[in-house]
Amino acid sequence: MLKSLGICALVCFVCYCVNWFLTEQIEDAVVHLINLCGIAILLAVSLNVINGLAGQFSLGHAGFMSVGAYMSAYFTTNLSYFDEKAGQYVSETAMLSGTHGFLFSALAGAGAAALVGLLVGAPTLRLKGDYLAIVTLGVGEIIQIAITDMRKVGGATGLSGIPGLPSLPLIPEGIGTTAPFWIFSAVGLAILACIRLQNSTYGRVLVAIRENELAAELMGIRAVRLKVMAFVFGAFIAGLAGAIYARYQLSVRPADFSYVRSIEVVVMIVLGGLGSLSGAVVGAVTMTLLPEVLRPVEEGLGVTGIRMIVYSLVLILLMLFRPQGLFGQRELSLRLLRRLWPGSRKGGT
C-alpha cells in the first residue's frame, strides 16, 4: 500500500516538473497538442481494458466521456437557462470551486460514468461480437440525444463558461498553464491502475475470457460479472477523461461526443495493438499528432484535404501489412527494444 502511494506521489511530482518545464520553455501550440495527446491516452487505455483485455467490442465510449464531462461541468459552472415552468431565465451559481471542487467534480463525473457503465453493461454484456457493438453504439447515441435535450446544461448549443483547471503552487494563475500537470497526473495514475489490473488475478481471468469464454466458464469463472467489472473500470477512466476535457476546453457540446469520437478511440487501440497497454499509448499519440504533422504537406501542395487522404492511406497500409497493430499483444520493454535494435541478435544462440 505504501509503495503504491509512493509511486503515485512520484508520478504527480514528475508531472509537476514537466508542467513547469512546458510552461517556461515550450510554445503554447505545442503544449496544446501534448495536452490533447494526454486526453487521447486516457481514452485509449480505458477502452483497451474493455476491448483489448476483456475482448468485448464496445463502440459507445464517447458516451461515458460525455457523462463525465457534463457532470463535472454541472458542479463547477455558473448555469444560466430558461425555466419553462417559471417562464423566465434562471441563473445558478457554481456549487463547487477551487482545487478541491475540481477534484470532487472530476471524481463525481468519473463515478457517474462508471454507474452508467454498470447499468449498460449488466444487461448487455451477455451479448457477444457484433450484437454488443451495435448495442453499445446505440447507448452512446442515446446518451448524446439525452444531453442534447437537457436545456439546463445548454442543450444542442452546449455548455460554455466552464472554469479552467485550477492553479498550482509556484505557477500563478494566469501565467502559463497547469493543464499538463492535471492531464498527465491522471494519465500516469490510470496507466498504473491498468498495469496493476493486467498483472492481477482478475486481469489474467479477463485474458482467459477473451481467449475462450466457454472454456473459462467451464473452469468456474463467472464471465459476465468480470466483463461488467472491466466495463465499469473502463467507463470510470473515460469519465475522468471527459471531466478533464471539459475543464481544459472551457466548453462542451453534444457534438464533441458523437459516435465519430468512439470510432477514433477504437482506431487508436487497433493501431497500437488490441490488448497492449503500450500500443494504446502509442496509438493515441499517433492518431492525435499525425493529422498535425501532415498539415505542412497539405499547405505545401496547396490542396485542401490532402492530409486526411494521406492520413487514411497510412492507416489502410498499416492494417494490410500489420493487421495485429504496431505491438500486437506485446508490451514495450527493454527486452523488446533489444530485439528490435539492429544487430542485437548477432552472436546469439
Q: For residues 151-171, b (16+ Cβ closer than 10 Å) or e, as one string?
A: eebbbeebbeebbebbbbeeb
**Taking a C-beta distance cutoff of 8 angstroms, is the pair 230, 54 a contact?**
yes
Largest CA distance in the chain: 83
| Long-range CB pairs of 34-37, under 8 A, 24+ apart, other chains included | 34/180, 35/179, 35/180, 35/183, 35/248, 36/288, 37/284, 37/285, 37/288, 37/289
**pLDDT digits over 305-323, tens only?**
777 777 788 778 887 888 8
pTM: 0.89
**pLDDT digits over 14-26, tens only?**
888 888 888 777 8
Distance CA 16, CA 181 (A): 5
**Taking a C-beta distance cutoff of 8 angstroms, is the pair 234, 49 a contact?**
yes
**Taking a C-beta distance cutoff of 8 angstroms, is the pair 42, 190 a contact?**
yes
Query: Torsion angle of alpha carbons 216, 217, 222, 227, nearest 10°?
Result: 60
Distance CA 90, CA 79 (A): 8
**pLDDT digits over 329-348, tens only?**
777 765 665 565 555 554 44
Instruction: Please identify which residue in the block is written with the cell numbers 500563478.
Output: 172
Indicate the helix (H) or strand (E) that contains 41.
helix 28-47
- Which pLDDT band holds residue 57 (cuts at 50, 70, 90)? confident
